[in-house]
Every structure is written in C-alpha cells, then in structure tokens.
Structure 1
Amino acid sequence: MRVKQLIVSICIITFLLFILFEKESQEMIKYFPFDESMSFIEAETNLSLVEQTGNDQYKVNWKVDSNLQQPIYLRQDVSLLFMDGQLKGIKSLWKEEESKISLNEDIDESDSSHFEAISYHHGEIHYPNDEIKSIQQMTYDELYVIDSPYSPLESFHKAESDFQLEWAKTLTHTTDQALHYRWKQWMEKLDIASNDYILHPLVNIYEFSSKPLNGFSQAETNKIIAQLWEGLYKEYIIPLSNTSTASPLYMPIILISKNYDHLFVLFNDATNQVQALKQIIP
C-alpha cells in the first residue's frame, strides 16, 4: 500500500514538474542561430485613434500582426506601449505550430499625448537532430493625439501642418525632459558615467533592424538585439506582466558602451527600484 502511494506521489510530482517546466519554457524568448530560409511575410505595429467615447475621452487602438510563410514550432510576439514616456501596457502571446499572431486592444485615454509602441516578433524552428533556429523582427509605431478644448480631436503619426508640428514639439519636449531626468537619476544611483555610453531609449532600438551598430555587420547587430530581447523579456516583461504597481514605470534606456564591448538596460521595477541588465558584446 505504501509502495503504491509512493508511486502515485512520484507520478504527481513528476507531472507537476513537467507542467512547470513547460510553462517556463513557453514564457521565454531565446536566441538561436537565425534561419535564413525563413522570413516574415507580414509584421506590423499600428496605433490609431478609433473614436471619441465621451467628454474628454477617446480610444486608441493598439494592434500587432505578424505572419510567417508556414507554421513553425513556436511563435511569440510581445509588444510594449508607452504613453508620454511611461509604460501603458504589455501584450504577449505565444502559439505552438502556428504561423500567424494577432494582438489587439483598445486603450481609453484623455488629454493630449504621444503614444509609442515597439513589438518584437519571434519564432523558433525545430529541425531533426535537435537543431533549433530562430527568426526575429521588430516593428514600431507612434501616434500623437491632440485633445484640446480649442480644436477638434485630432491624431497623426507624422506632423505635417504647422499646428501638428507645434503640438509634436511640445509633447516630445515634455516627455524627453521627464525621461532624461529619470535616466540621469538611475545612472547616478548605479554610478554609471553617461559620458562612457551612447544612450538609446528602448523604442528606438527598432532602427537597428536596418542600421547596424557601429563597427558591426547587420548579422552581428541582429544577434546582439536578439540577446537583448531575451534578457528584457525574462527580467522586465515577464515580472511586470505578472505584477500590478501604482508607481509610474518609465521607458527603459539602453546604454551602449562607446567601445562597443557591453551594454546596459536600465529600468525601474514594480517596487520603483532601479535595475540594470548587463550584456557583454562579443
């Protein structure tokens, strides 16, 4: 009888460990060598003003789509939405044996604001003999919403008129001031000399999809960015996705050393403590 109970207990524990391992493996974005034979036929992040919901209220639609030529072992997309430099939302979805992922959400807001969203589209391709390769792409969008009592509700992606240019300048300047103040505090707390680094706000790293880091090829840059997202997903995205916080979460800053041998990702966590991820650049 005791032997039976022991066997049952071992089976239950093994099953629970299997479920836990599966969950942890699914909640990971991991870099593997890139598969040059695979490419996205669609990858897009889109922000749009959809409607006015009431007095001083409007909706912004946050949409992410990606599609591959064929289903692969694991597809995963993650998207970060910032409003005036503060984290507004995180969306993430993984699917097995799938080619397409779509994320869609409406955000209720008020007042004039600058919205920015960056998305990381990722996939794992498994081949015989335990060979694993990966595929990645980043997309970005921004939207200015002008909600003023002196003019009709308006939105734009890129300023065209003088009116839009003035609003974009005002909103961007206000956000930049607030962010640089926070980033300076973080660097001082961690005793990091800003003069030794090139600073990149997190949303700006999508530019490295087609513009390699100084002294690196595009392929080398892609690997560096993939490993950056691997750490960011594990240490920033997953913890914040599972935690609620009343503290404002400011946009992370990427610090790339001027001799290009390492980088830092600085951010404040759910307890408003500054955190630093370090990545060695080979």
Structure 2
Amino acid sequence: MIKSRKVHIITCLLMMLAVILLLLSQRTAEETIKYFPPDSSISFSAVGTNLNLLKETGNDQYMVKWIATSSLDKEIYLRQDVSLLYMDGRLKGMKGLWKESEKDIDLEVVFEESDSSHFQAISFHHGEIHYPNDEIKSIHQMSDDHLYVIDSPHTALESFREPNSHMQLEWKETIDKTTSQQLQFAWKEWIDAANIEINDYDLYPLTSIIQLQEKPINGLTQEQTDRIIGQLWEGLYKNYILPIANQSETNNQIMPLILINKNNDHLIVLFNNEANQLETLYQQLSIQN
C-alpha cells in the first residue's frame, strides 16, 4: 500500500514537472523572434501598417486606429508580428501577436489622444518554416505608416500624411522642429554617455530603418542587409521590446537610435529601458554569404 502511494506521488510529480517544462518551452517560443536563414520558396502576400484618424470624442480628445497586418498564401509553423508606435518621437505603445500553424496576423488598436502630434508606426512581420531533419528557415518584412493630426481650437480636427495646404505645411514644420530638437538633444546625451565616435557611424532613428528594405547598407548587398535587419529585430525584441511590453505602461521612452559602423563591422542600438535608463546594445554584423 505504501509502495503504491509512493509510485503514485512520484508519477504525479513527474507529470507536474512535464507540464511546467512544456509551459516554459511554449513561453520561450512565444517570446522570441529568432532569425534563421531566409526561405526563398515563400514570401508574404501582403503586409501593411496603417494609422487613421477616426473622430473627435469630446473634451478635446480624438481617436486613432492603429493597424498592422500580414498574410501568407499558406500556413507555416510560426507567425509572429510586432508593431511599435511613437508620438512626437516618444514611445506611445507596443503590440504583438504570436501564432502557431497560421498564415495571417491582424493587430488592431484604437487609442485616444489630444493635441497636435506626429504619429509614426513601424512593424516587423516574421515567420518560421520548419522542415524535416530540424531544418529551420525564416521570412521577415517591415511595414510602416505615419500620420499628422492637427487638433487646434481655431480649426477643425484634421489629419494628413503629406501636407497639401500652406496651413498643413506650417503645422508639419512646427511639429517636426520641436520633435527633432528633443530627439537630437537626447541622442547626443546618449552618444556622449556611451563614448561613441560619431563620425565612424551612419545614424538611423528606429522608424527610418525601413528604408534599408529597398536600399541596402553602403557597401553591402540587399541580401546581406536583409540578414542584418532580421538579426537587429531579434536583438530589439529580446532587449528592448519584451522588457517594456511586460510593464503595465510605457514611460514615453525616446525613440531608439541605431548606429551602423561605416566599416560594416558592427552596429550599436542606444535606447532607454523600461526604467528609462540608457541601454547600449552591441551587435556584430554577419555579412557572410
């Protein structure tokens, strides 16, 4: 009888341990964007990020819809997308979704805001394809959008991406100037604190790296640049996105700055962590074919 009870207890403990290990392995998979060699046999059929002004809500408030979507023609082992939103150069929000055996991902957020601002969103669309013999490949693509919202007591609420009137141009220039001054001041402080020789690097605010999807890094091919971008997002997700996403709210962190060494040896990401303290992420560039 006693022996039977011991066997039962041990069996229960082993089952509990197996469940815990399974949950931990699932959590690790869900919370990791991992770069693998690109799969040329599959590509996204559509990706997109969109920001749209919805309506006034009263009390000088308005609503904006933020959407990020991506689609494939067939299901793959793992789909994971993440989208980052900045308002006047400061982090407004993060949104991500992870799915197994899926082809489509849709992220949608409606948020309320006030005052005239420039909203910028950039999304990273990612997928893993698993083949026999533990062969894993991946695909990724970026998309972005931006929107100026003019909320003035003297004019009707409006939004635009590119100004098509003199008034809109004036608003754009005013918002851009104020935002740029704040960003440049913060980035200079970061660069000085990290003791970086600025002349050795090309500088990219985070939302501007999407240009590298069509125009490769100087001296590199598009294939090499794509690999670097995939590995960059792997590092960003682990070190910047996840720690902040696990907080109840953002601290309006300044947009990260990416510095790519002109010798294409390494890159550095400067950003404020979840406690608004400076972090320096160093990444050796992998450019071998």
| TM-score bracket, shorter-length normalisation | over 0.9
- Greater Rg by CA: 2
What is the one-letter code of the residue matched to 1:272?
N
Quote the sequence identity (%). Answer: 53
- TM-score normalised by L of structure 1: 0.97
**Which aligned runs of 4 or more in structure 1 are off by greater than 6 angstroms?**
none
* 1:131, distance to aligned residue in structure 2 (A): 1.3
- Matching residue of 2:277: 273
Q: Structure 2 unaligned runs (5+)?
A: none
- Matching residue of 1:89: 93
- Matching residue of 1:135: 139
What is the one-letter code of the residue matched to 1:152?
A
Mapped contact 2:244–2:250 kept (Cα < 8 A): no
- Matching residue of 2:118: 114
- TM-score normalised by L of structure 2: 0.95
Mapped contact 1:244–1:270 kept (Cα < 8 A): no
- After superposing the two structures, state which structure 1 stretch, 209-218 or 238-247, moved more: 238-247
* 1:245, distance to aligned residue in structure 2 (A): 5.2
Provide the rounded CA distance (Å) in 1 between the counterparts of 2:254 and 2:248.
15
Q: State which of 50, 74, 81 in structure 2 corresponds to 1:77.
A: 81
Q: Deviations over 1:104-137 (max 9, x none)?
A: 1111000000000000000011112211111111
Q: Deviations over 1:139-174 (max 9, x none)?
A: 010000001111111100112222111111111111
* 1:26, distance to aligned residue in structure 2 (A): 1.6
- After superposing the two structures, state which structure 1 stretch, 187-196 or 112-121, moved more: 187-196
1:192 and 2:207 are equivalent in the alignment: no
1:63 and 2:67 are equivalent in the alignment: yes
Aligned-CA RMSD value: 1.2
Provide the rounded CA distance (Å) in 2 between the counterparts of 1:53 and 1:256.
43
Q: State which of 18, 27, 30 in structure 1 corresponds to 2:31.
A: 27
* 1:247, distance to aligned residue in structure 2 (A): 3.5
Q: Structure 1 unaligned runs (5+)?
A: none
* 1:52, distance to aligned residue in structure 2 (A): 0.7
* 1:261, distance to aligned residue in structure 2 (A): 0.6
Q: State the aligned residue count.
A: 282
Mapped contact 2:264–2:285 kept (Cα < 8 A): yes
* 1:8, distance to aligned residue in structure 2 (A): 2.2
Q: Deviations over 1:48-76 (max 9, x none)?
A: 10111113110011011110111111111
Q: State which of 134, 150, 155 in structure 2 corresponds to 1:151.
A: 155
